[in-house]
A and B are shown apart, each in its own frame.
Chain A
Amino acid sequence: MESSTRPAPKDTGLSPGTRSSMLGLMLIAPTVLVFCAVIVYPLISAIYLSLFSIYTPTMEGDWAGLSNYKVLIQSGEFWRSFGNNLVWTVGTLTLQIVFGILVALVLHQNLWFRSLARSLVLFPYFLSTVVAVLVWRWLFNDLYGVLNHFLMWTRIIDMPIDWLGTMPNAMISMILVGAWKYFPFVVIAVLARLQTIPDELYEAATIDGAGPVARFRDITLPQLREVLVVIILLRTIWDFKEFDLIYLLTGGGPVISTQTLPLMVYKEAFALNQMGSASAVAVMMMLFMLVFMFFYLRKAED
């Protein structure tokens, strides 16, 4: 018997089930440690900081209680930033969804060089935001930007447009660039779902007399509903907290016309050196996001 040559397992006095649980806990331990150090601690710390009035360079300050929050709630800038945040999120998300579904439907068809087309469409999503913004700022350049030249050449406009320096142009440009950068996420997810809809469903509908429009409305859309809910929740969360793209494209300007909450956090902390009130903005922002995070977590459970 081979088993007799094996040393008996060490008698630890623990049941095998417990021994296995302990191994499991050992394996998760590094994760838990890192989580506590770089996520849980800072998270609690952020809430704690928001109760102080702290000068960033010296990192010293006094207890302020809830006064940071009181100031915020009465501040026009905070609500303006929150409003901008909503406009940006709703605007760019809508474009992402509409355009994402459209492109996914096109790429789902039998296209020449389909896999090349798919790769090209996905590319902006993986591109560094820095690169995306640099490219777009060059396209948007008021004197030498190709966008203005093209629009003037086609006679759509007769004067160059200041894409980033005036309102509402800056917000629209921002929403457009956001849509360009992030719609591939929708394409990926919708395309994956489209591929799982059985052809029999379409064949059955065709036999029942449904035309292309009816097939899309009665089969494709209902089948996409589940995945769209998840996409919308995820993208809402991500678009709401977007910092890089807005900071790099407009910096929140002109003045604070495109400033969203994440930008306000950064400005308070590192331009105005008010670490305490910056934390308060961050905490408030997280509270708004918790609603969506809660719905997403509930969805993810299923």
Chain B
Amino acid sequence: MSGISVQGVSKSFGDVQAVQAMDLEVAEGEFVSILGPSGCGKTTLLRMLAGLEFPTEGQISIGGQVVNDKSPADRDIAMVFQSYALYPHMTVAGNIEYPLKKRKVPKAEREERIRQAAAMLKLEDLLGRKPRELSGGQQQRVALGRAVVRDPAVFLMDEPLSNLDAKLRSHMRAELIQLHRRIGRTMIYVTHDQLEAMTMSDRIAIMHEGALQQLATPKEVYARPANAFVAGFIGMPPMNLVDAKLDGDGNLSVFGRQYRFVASDGPGHSGEQTVKVGFRPEDVVLRDDGEAARVAIVEPTGHEVIVVFEIDSARIVGRVSPELDLKADDQVRLAPRVERIHVFSGTDGDRLGGVHSEG
């Protein structure tokens, strides 16, 4: 029983509300990413889980025990910091040994566990070095080693890969997935990088302005974003969002074309309202009966081409095959794939549903 339960947790610093009324249930052994733009409160949430900050309201439980008043030392957690926070005056071995020492693990056992952790993270040759003599990737592994060596119930990671270069980052992603599979502990992983969240997590919690936006599997978050923020945040390039009118009978008009709204997976609608219609770049298709558009910008990436189209003054991003060989100022006709259209409220951005047919 080493799940995490966050119930109605809020945290404010003076007048600033960093986290508001947050609920989060994480099962034992689960890998959950907390994803959001900087300043969204994700790190504050993580630090509250660690016991480095204390909630102004609400309750945090780890392994079924309320830990609100417990110091970090008493929470059976380990944390990997964005800055790694390696103790500069200790060797690699000293750094890894420190949590064991503080928990009064006998000397012989300490040495054995350092050896194991070092072997798992390929640190054997570096044990005698000081952190400043290590490369960024090596420091990263030491920080992981310091967390792994204690075998805690929960791992907390605060953007652990953000200081690595792109190549090393993708390598470490794979290593972390493997590590999680091997030790099977609960992991909470804070990141602003959606690629990390999408590739590594069992579930993703997306935060914005201190509030939870959606908690779901990566697939779900991509296919059925809970609101316009999530829709615009997930995906590279992000989802196209255009304003549209929805009348009382469920007729939706986008770029002068009519669609039938369906509330199959949303709370539905009532009466006439303005909405935001979203569709992903890969769901933009060129069809002869589509809307007239001008090609504004063409960005080839190799296996695909990112194209910015202009319809009147609106800009639509599409992801198309290089074989189409589009050039700037070409005139085309396009339309979104009907079954992949998302409809969000024009006021609060919540998901209302999709569309089921044209006309």
Contacts and interface: CB of A to CB of B under 8 A. Distances in A.
Nearest to B73: A6
Contacts of A17: 54
Contact of B54 (A6, A9, A16): A16
Which of A1, A3, A16, A17: most chain B CB closer than 10 A?
A3
Contacts of B76: 1-3
Contacts of B51: 16
Contacts of A5: 103-104
> Most chain-B CB neighbours within 10 Å: which of A15, A16, A17?
A16
A45 B140 CA distance: 58
Contact of A15 (B54, B74, B75, B105): B54
Contacts of B75: 3
B153 A1 contact: yes
Question: Size class of B's contact patch?
Answer: 10 to 19
Contact of A6 (B68, B74, B150): B74
A267 B53 CA distance: 57
Nearest to B2: A1
A8 B74 CA distance: 8
B105 A9 contact: no
Contacts, number: 30
A2 B69 contact: no
Contacts of B105: 2
B70 interface: yes
B178 interface: no
Q: Is chain B's interface secondary structure helix, strand, loop, or mixed overall?
A: loop
B103 A2 contact: yes
A3 B75 CA distance: 7
A9 B103 contact: no
B30 to A, nearest CB: 19
A89 B54 CA distance: 52
Interface string B80-108: 00000000000000000000000111000
Of the candidates B51, B69, B70, the one having the most CB atoms from chain A within 10 angstroms of its own CB is: B69
B74 A9 contact: yes
A266 B228 CA distance: 75
Task: Among A2, A5, A6, find the residue whose CB has the most chain B CB atoms closer than 10 A.
Answer: A2
A6 B103 contact: yes
Contacts of A6: 73-74, 103
Interface string A1-25: 1110110110000011100000000
B120 to A, nearest CB: 19
B69 A16 contact: yes
Nearest to A11: B69
Interface in B101-126: 103-105
B71 interface: yes
A15 B104 CA distance: 27
Interface of B: 51, 54, 68-71, 73-76, 103-105, 150, 153
Given A16-B69, A17-B54, 6 more contacts: A2-B105, A3-B74, A8-B74, A9-B70, A9-B74, A15-B54
29 contacts: A1-B76, A1-B153, A2-B76, A2-B103, A2-B105, A2-B150, A3-B73, A3-B74, A3-B75, A3-B76, A3-B103, A5-B103, A5-B104, A6-B74, A6-B103, A8-B74, A9-B69, A9-B70, A9-B71, A9-B74, A15-B54, A15-B69, A16-B51, A16-B54, A16-B68, A16-B69, A16-B70, A16-B71, A17-B54
Interface of A: 1-3, 5-6, 8-9, 15-17
